[in-house]
Every structure is written in structure tokens, then in C-alpha cells.
Structure 1
Amino acid sequence: MTFMEINKGKPFFIYLPSNAPHSPIYVDEKYAKPYQHLKVKEIVNPEFYGMITNIDENFGKLEKLLKKKKLADNTTLIFMTDNGTSDGISKDG
């Protein structure tokens, strides 16, 4: 965040990788809890979905900071991941 403040007057690039959602599957209880009561076959790992919720929350914090620092209008955010299994468990290798 300090880097963005210091460099806000000139173009910059930030690569901000996330290891989630990925094993080891650990996330604070507050993120997994909303998914624990679901009795849906597809929800086999509430912690995995909690990780996604946590990513979404942090991405929102980044967007809010960019707006607050008046950087949002000249910024492109691209979210990518290589962790594409639907429930955190690969069934086909």
C-alpha cells in the first residue's frame, strides 16, 4: 500500500499473487462457517469456499484503497488463478 502511495504520480505495475484457493486448505473459521451448514453435494469442502470468500473480501479492500487514493480511474485490475477445481479436490489428476 505504501508503494502505491509513493508512486501514485507515475505508472506502476504490481503483481499480487494469491496462493488461495489452494492446499493446504486453511482459512479463518469466519470464512468457512457460512458454508458448513449447506447440505449440497457440491459443497464438500467449506474451507475451500471460505478461501474464495476471503479472496473476494481482500480484492474489495484493494478496490476501496485505489478509490480512496484516487488511483482507481487509471488502474486496471486483472484477477487470474490457476486453481480451477470446483471444490478444491482434483478428481482427474
Structure 2
Amino acid sequence: MTNQPTALHANHSISAESATPSSVHDRIIRKKELALILGISDATVYRWIKSEGLPEPIKLGSNSVGWKLSEVQSWLDSRSRGLTINNAKKSAQTAEKLK
């Protein structure tokens, strides 16, 4: 008997393209990875949901949640734009005070 692939094996192979998501940003990340990305503790993740507007998690099962990476990235982008605007305002206020 040879080790030739059967018709079943040949018809059910998965290509690398079909095995990867259409966009890396569409993947779900768990709390530990989210905390690592944000540079915060696991406990701070839930504090930031309440106080900083971090997106709510998606329920994955009875005891698990995750976040869409695209939503986290959008939140980070909006925060960085907001921080830039706030920093510009503060700089202008500081300059006025120094005059």
C-alpha cells in the first residue's frame, strides 16, 4: 500500500489564503493580549472601559470574552487624535501665560 493522498485528502486541503482572515484587524484578541497592547494591567482594562471609553468586550462563550482588534485600533486612533488636540490647546494656553 502506498502513502498517496486519497481523493478525500486532495479535495479538502486548506490553502494558506483561505486559512488566514481577510484582515488582521478583524481578529478577536483576549484580555491578556489587549492589556499587553495597551501597556496596562488586566484589572485596568475594565477600569478603562468605564472611565476611558475602551470598547466593550464581545461575549465568546459562557466564560470568555474578547475584543475586535479593529475596534481597539479605532479607539486608540481617536485617543491619539484627541490627545494631540488637547496637547496643542495646553501648549497655546501655556504660551499665553508666558507672555
Q: Same fold (TM over 0.5)?
A: no
Greater strand share, structure number: 2
Q: Which of 1 and 2 has higher RCO (CA within 8 Å, sep 6+)?
A: 1
Give the number of the structure whose alpha-carbon radius of gyration is greater: 2
**Alignment TM class, shorter chain as reference:** 0.3 to 0.5
Greater helix share, structure number: 2
Q: Which TM-score applies when normalising by structure 2?
A: 0.31
Q: Which TM-score applies when normalising by structure 1?
A: 0.33
